[in-house]
Chain A
Amino acid sequence: MQTQDNTMTEQSRETNDMKSEKATDPAIESGLKRLTPERIQKTINQVLEKETGPRFKAYVETCMRCGMCADACSFFLSNDRDPYFMPAAKVKNTIWEMLAKKGNVSKDFLRQAVRISHLECNVCKRCAMYCPFGIDIAYMMLLVRRICHKLEITPQYIQDTVNSHSVTLNQMWVKDDEWIDTLQWQEEDARDEFENLEIPLDKVGADIMYSVIAPEPKFQAGLIYQAATMMHAAGIDWTMPSTPGWDNSNMAMYTGDNEISGRIARAFFETAAKLRVKRIVMGECGHAFRSVYDIGNRWNSWVMPPFEVVHALAFYHELLTEGRITIKEKYKKKVTLHDPCNVSRGRGLHDKARQVVNMVCEDFVDMVPNREHNYCCGAGGGVINCGPPYKNERMVNNRNKAEQLAATGAEVLIAPCHNCHSGLEDIIHHYDLKMEIKFLGDLIYETMEKKIYTPGK
């Protein structure tokens, strides 16, 4: 392992020592207390037999234990190539064992299985690209999470977000009036810049429904402001829903609570259908994109999403290449770009993202590896959502990302995904990387010409 400087090595050693004191989670512990061996066995067998099919069987029977997946995993690379963290080992310590013992596993085993599936795997699917057979280990980790969900031993913080989804259809317990209030507040603020700016609510038949994740109204309302100014400046016929279904995030997808996950996605698509919009544009979030582009639609029996779902990266690309937004002066600082798994490996938007960055910034340096092969932020896949108790080990488990970032020498890190953004911010502070972190929208907002687009001009 190459480290960038001495301070980092010191720090990683320190944090490595902290590994021995791992966080305990009240939800996992109280959940385990409630379990009986019969229930454990019944639940595991139900999931493995009834909820899987030939795909799972083929994955289990095909793996030749070659170990080529190891090089893919951030956890493996960050922990001095400790075999325990390699993708196949995660399957060995969960699924293989469950199969071998026919579901008759102990509570200690389950405690470890929760950790492995929820905290030691970002379900980023990088390993699927490193396996010669294309075995989808993330799929199997999600199966383990499904089992944990059914056994009610999901970590507390992420379970709370699912509870929120279940009650409010958004992730952050945002109340219906708070949502509308926040949008109006942002609208009002933005009118300082654009006199007639509107955030049109429930405009039936608009071209575009813009949707965000609940953390935006909760504590990053400025992002809605920025999006509104971009929409306004670009002269887009857009709307935002005022009713539940506005939140495109989906934490239930990551806890294995497929029923609620499906409900969230369905409510989302129904909201768009009610507004009869042509397309859905979403903010810079990766997992939300995965939910409505890849997972939620499947649960609701659509092969592909019933609406064209456009991620912010692709939308920015469209606005800039069509000239709907023009850049006044390019951003000067040296920037680098993080490719979030769910939009690069998940939708191939990495090249468009680079084009946008080059249109907006003067000095762009790529990180290595990049595009589909970029290292995971370590936060996605629900890992960061397991909350502060696990932050320290998350920092240890993401040393390789810190090294990768430091090697770019960039002053600004662009992270076009909420989970990546939060995780990388933690990494930057923890490893003292002296980098600013920004969304791509931040930079576009900062550099764009604040004038309204008129066609033909």
Chain B
Amino acid sequence: MNSFIAFIMGPMVWISAIIFVGGLLFKGISIIQSVRQKEPYIFSYMTVKHSLRSMGAWLVPFFPKSTRLRPVYYAISYLFHILLFVVPLFLASHIVLINEAFQVSWPALNDGLADWLTLLVIAALIFFAVRRQMVPEITYLTSAIDYLLILLVLLPFVTGFLAYHQWFAYRWMVVAHVLSGELMLIIIPFSRFSHMLTAPLTRAYMGSEFGNVRHARDW
């Protein structure tokens, strides 16, 4: 058992991190390459100024009109995306492990606060799932994979929360936590989670078209 734990907390972390970073890197490079090959016009229209203008406008909460039309969903979604990164990266337990592996460290969130934020992430994910059931236009678009994606994000947070509180079978909870976290990282480049890479690109292109050619706002 200990050797299994040593594996999933050692080499497996490396493997999933490499697949995550490498996969996104590969995806990014192949996008650029195929743009060069098949759609070089995209570079003719992209400008840094208008890309940033568009991204900036869409990063300001409730600035774009469509975000004001669905304020609850937007607010939860906005918060969720921030917490999705902040909670794991600034969790004391994670920083301790990183510190022991790489001798780097940064300030951690207070444990109690992190606990509540984790609950917020979980609540947001449950909200997303319920929303898929309740709002007719979302239901219409939803397929099983959308729930699967929610589950994939939900798992590391739920298991992490339970492990922190040492409820249920602690050892198995940590194993589940580590594995589900790694699974999520591995899946990112191969699923729609890769919107963490492609969304800024599509945003930048649309922002450039609107700013550079259409001289209109795209928010």
- What is A's interface to B at a CB cutoff of 8 Å? 53-55, 57-59, 61-72, 76, 81, 83-84, 86, 88-89, 92, 128-136, 294, 298, 303-304, 344-348, 350, 369, 372-373
Contacts and interface: CB of A to CB of B under 8 A. Distances in A.
A125 B206 CA distance: 11
Contacts of A57: 31, 34
A225 to B, nearest CB: 31
A347 B214 contact: yes
Contacts of B133: none
B135 interface: yes
A347 B216 contact: yes
Interface stretch (B36-44, B94-102, B115-123, B162-170): B36-44
Interface of B: 31, 34-35, 37-39, 41-42, 44-45, 54, 58, 64-67, 69-70, 73-74, 77, 135-142, 146, 192, 194-195, 198-199, 201-203, 205-207, 210, 213-219
Contact of B141 (A53, A92, A128, A348): A92
B139 A83 contact: yes
A129 B219 contact: yes
A61 B137 contact: no
Contact of A372 (B194, B201, B203, B216): B216
Contact of B66 (A71, A81, A347): A71
B136 A83 contact: yes
A58 B202 contact: yes
A53 B205 CA distance: 14
Contacts of B199: 62, 132-133
Contacts of B146: 65
Nearest to A55: B39
Given A294-B214, A347-B215, 20 more contacts: A53-B37, A57-B34, A58-B198, A62-B198, A62-B202, A68-B66, A70-B137, A81-B136, A83-B140, A84-B140, A92-B140, A128-B218, A129-B64, A129-B217, A130-B64, A130-B66, A133-B195, A136-B206, A345-B214, A348-B215
A67 B202 contact: no
A68 B217 contact: no
Contacts of A128: 206, 218
A2 to B, nearest CB: 15
A129 B39 contact: no
A133 B201 CA distance: 8
Contact of A53 (B39, B67, B214, B219): B39
Nearest to B42: A55
17 contacts: A54-B34, A54-B39, A57-B34, A61-B198, A86-B137, A88-B141, A132-B66, A132-B67, A133-B195, A133-B199, A134-B203, A345-B216, A346-B214, A347-B214, A348-B214, A348-B216, A369-B65
A71 B70 contact: yes
B69 A134 contact: no
Contacts of A303: 41, 44-45
B57 to A, nearest CB: 11
B137 A129 contact: no
Residue among B44, B146, B202 with max Cβ neighbours from chain A (10 Å): B202
